[in-house]
Amino acid sequence: MSLSQHSFAAVTDLFHQVSGIRLADTKRALVIGRLQKLAQDAGIDSLDRYVEHVVSGQDAAETRRVIDKLTTNETYFFREPQHFELLTELATQASRTEPFRVWSAASSSGEEAYSIAMVLASQIGARGWEVVGTDLSSAMVETARRALYPMDRIRETPLAMVKKHCLKGQGDYQGQVLVSRELRQNVRFQCANLTESLPDIGLFDVIFLRNVLIYFDAKSKPPIVKRVAANLKPGGLLFVGHAEPLAQFDTGLRTVRPAVYERA
């Protein structure tokens, strides 16, 4: 199926309005690829007619499916390991008088949140900590809750953690791994749009906001960072992606090391 420039602009404008993320023309092939299956499922044999249907605003469920599909979700366990090394240090030093809380603010399909949970379980134990994962995509939130992943997603995970926290699939689940029920008990997921008012999820010792700011323009980034960082405890740390420096923005945060910022 082909997609006209008019329809590409219309669907990416809609995606920007809902998510705050602007998809450049270089993402055209990605947009076409992800819309084709949705159009087929809807029984529409033209991408232009499908986009016209979606942007008309008459089918909220279909609009949600498009937003879910266009959200970038490529990830794996223990991505950017330097942050997990620092998290290990913080968890080791954590007070045991209250739960150590970490927020995965753009949790996608849940690999980051469960990586965090593995670190906290290894350093703190089965209790005394909590991980919250949020994502724009309701489909990704449901995937994260299922906690079932292709084997390739754990390629960077320490073997000891794989053995302790992952169950290898058999039969119909060959080639997949399931995160253990014990680990999942302290991890919860829900939808949240970082460009809007956030749900009341409390304060955190550490927030992961990684590999998401690169999809926003310069004007949008500071408000998102400030909105998210408001959920940090005093002295809490915000982790961003190593390709997402915040030095040029007024965020009210202090740099403590590359891609790590502290709330005063």
Active site residues: 34, 135
How confident is the model at residue 73, as a pLDDT? 66
Domain residue limits, the chain: 5-70, 81-263
Percent of the chain with pLDDT over 90: 77
The count of C-alpha atoms lying within 13 angstroms of the C-alpha of 140, restricted to the half-sphere facing its C-beta, is: 28
Q: Which CATH architecture has domain 81-263?
A: 3-Layer(aba) Sandwich (3.40)
Is the distance from CB of 208 to CB of 229 less than 8 angstroms? no
Give me the mean pLDDT over the 3-10 stretch: 95
Model confidence over 151-185: pLDDT tens digits?
999 999 999 999 999 999 999 999 999 999 999 99
Residue 24 is predicted with a pLDDT of 86
Q: How many Å separate Cα 156 from the centre of its chain?
A: 18
Architecture of the structural domain at 5-70: Orthogonal Bundle (1.10)
The Cα 245–Cα 4 span in angstroms is 35
User: What pTM value is reported for the model?
Assistant: 0.87
pLDDT at 45 over 70: yes
Per residue, the 3-state secondary structure of the chain, as one string, reads CCCCHHHHHHHHHHHHHHHCCCCCHHHHHHHHHHHHHHHHHCCCCCHHHHHHHHHCCCCHHHHHHHHHHHCCCCCCCCCCHHHHHHHHHHHHHCCCCCCEEEEECCCCCCHHHHHHHHHHHHHHCCCCEEEEEEECCHHHHHHHHHCEEEHHHHCCCCHHHHHHHEEECCHHHCCEEEECHHHHCCEEEEECCCCCCCCCCCCEEEEEECCCHHHCCCCCHHHHHHHHHCCEEEEEEEEECCCCCCCCCCCCEEEEECCEEEEC
pLDDT range class, residue 19, cuts 50, 70, 90: confident
In DSSP terms, which residues pair with 151 in a beta bridge?
A: none
Instruction: Report whether pLDDT(252) > 90.
Output: no
21 within 8 A of 31, measured Cβ to Cβ: no
Q: What is the pLDDT of residues 218-236, one digit of tens each?
A: 888 999 999 999 999 999 9
Distance CA(3)–CA(60), nearest Å, equals 22
> What percent of the chain has pLDDT above 70?
99
Tell me which residue of 129, 134, 97 sits closest to 112, measured CA to CA.
134
pLDDT digits (tens, 9 = 90+) for 187-209: 999 999 999 999 999 999 999 99
Given this model, what pLDDT does residue 187 score? 98
Place 68 in a pLDDT band, splitting at 50, 70 and 90: confident
